[in-house]
Amino acid sequence: MIYKKSEVVEQYRLHVVDTGSTEIQIALLTTRINYLSNHFKKSPKDFASRVGFLKMIGKRRRLLNYIKKHNATRYFSILKKLNLRK
């Protein structure tokens, strides 16, 4: 992979020992989704990877819905940080 997981965790964590908050999970999924979307531009017939890709998109959507339901300000801040449309 092109990115380092520790860099993403460092950038999006909420406190010093935060390793798995919802924001971090969304950020990690987003970086993997961006990487795979570029991969599919190069190899459009890779259907096996596309299944996992679509599952990741669904999981990210569910996590975003969870944050939106519980804390709208965190939801809009994560959308802005990750440059996601909504």
Distances in whole angstroms, Cα of residue 67 to Cα of each of 6, 36, 58, 61, 82: 22, 24, 14, 10, 14
Per-residue model confidence (pLDDT) at position 4: 85
Tokens of 11: 């950038």
Range of the domain at 70: 17-82
- For the cut 80, the answer to whether the pLDDT of residue 1 exceeds it is no
CA angle (18, 36, 77) in 5-degree steps: 40
Q: Is residue 71 part of a domain?
A: yes
Per-residue model confidence (pLDDT) at position 2: 61
Question: What is the CATH number for 73?
Answer: 1.10.287.10
Q: Is residue 62 part of a domain?
A: yes
Instruction: Please count the residues of the chain.
Output: 86
Number of domains present in the structure of the chain: 1
Per DSSP, 14 falls in state S
pTM of the model: 0.88
Report the pLDDT averaged over residues 47-52: 92
- pLDDT band for 18, please (50, 70, 90 cuts): confident
